[in-house]
Amino acid sequence: MTTTKIALITGANKGIGKEIARQLGQLGMTVLVAARDAERGRAASAELTGDGIDARPVLLDVTDPDSVATAAKQVEQEHGRLDVLVNNAGIIDAGDQDGRAVADTFERTYATNVIGVMTVTRAMLPLLRKGAQARVVNLSSELGSVSLQSDPDGEFSGIRLYAYNSSKAALNMLTVMLAKELQPDGIAVNAVSPGYCATDMNDHEGYRTPAQGAADAVRVATADGPTGGFYGESGTLPW
């Protein structure tokens, strides 16, 4: 069996996910560039390959269990294991505006940001168990921190994305629960906030680059250390 680490990143065709794939690839890992659109996935993978990275496209829509199962089968057949899973794919629904989110906005947001993460993680678990000290990183947000949202002086406490913020709070809880479940298997599960990065998600208004946000996720994905934590640029974040 090859000793090159295998990493799969969901939503890796653009934004922070593509930069996570680039940086893990620069560390010598084989990166599986998972994307829900085949052409966008191939284009991102080709760009990374052009930069000297061992990148391979994988078709994967986190909201479609059949797509996730097919992707897991592909990884099993081609690599036999997975060492790093980055649950990066996420959305802010167009209806999630200033406290006006209604049911379908919650449903779409949770389908991707919460249920999608569980579907992918469960499907990849047999492969992660065959990995070397496997790591799962969930892309969360300071907007999902109940503590920071409760602070009236907090930087993001005025941002009322009801569906998105609560989806990331749910993701934080799932991170802790999965970390406990998988500790006996030696699999670390952590949440990372990349900070406010300029991507399509916020019409490029963020003040960090996607590469800076990606670096926080990569640090946790490659750490020897802890499990069940929430991390950002400056270290541990409050739940």
Footprint of ligand NAP (CB under 6 A): 10-11, 13-17, 36-37, 40, 61-63, 88-91, 112, 116, 139, 141, 193-194, 196-197, 199-202, 206
130 catalytic, yes or no?
no
Structure tokens at 172: 């934080």
CA distances from 107 to 104, 159, 169, 201 (A): 5, 20, 15, 18
Yes or no: say if 134 and 121 are a contact pair by the CB < 8 Å rule.
Answer: no
Of the two residues 122 and 185, which places its CB atom closer to ligand NAP in the complex?
A: 122
Q: Which residues pair with 156 in a beta bridge?
A: none
Distance CA 25, CA 188 (A): 20
Known catalytic residue: 164? yes
**Nearer Cβ to ligand NAP (113/222):** 113
Q: In the chain, what are the helix, strand and coil shares in percent, each to the nearest 5?
A: 50, 15, 35
The distance of closest approach from Cβ of residue 35 to ligand NAP in the complex, given in angstroms and rounded to an integer, is: 6
Candidates 5, 18, 168, 231; catalytic one: 168
How far apart are CB 1 and ligand NAP at their closest, in Å?
28
The distance of closest approach from Cβ of residue 180 to ligand NAP in the complex, given in angstroms and rounded to an integer, is 22
- Residues recognised as catalytic: 164, 168
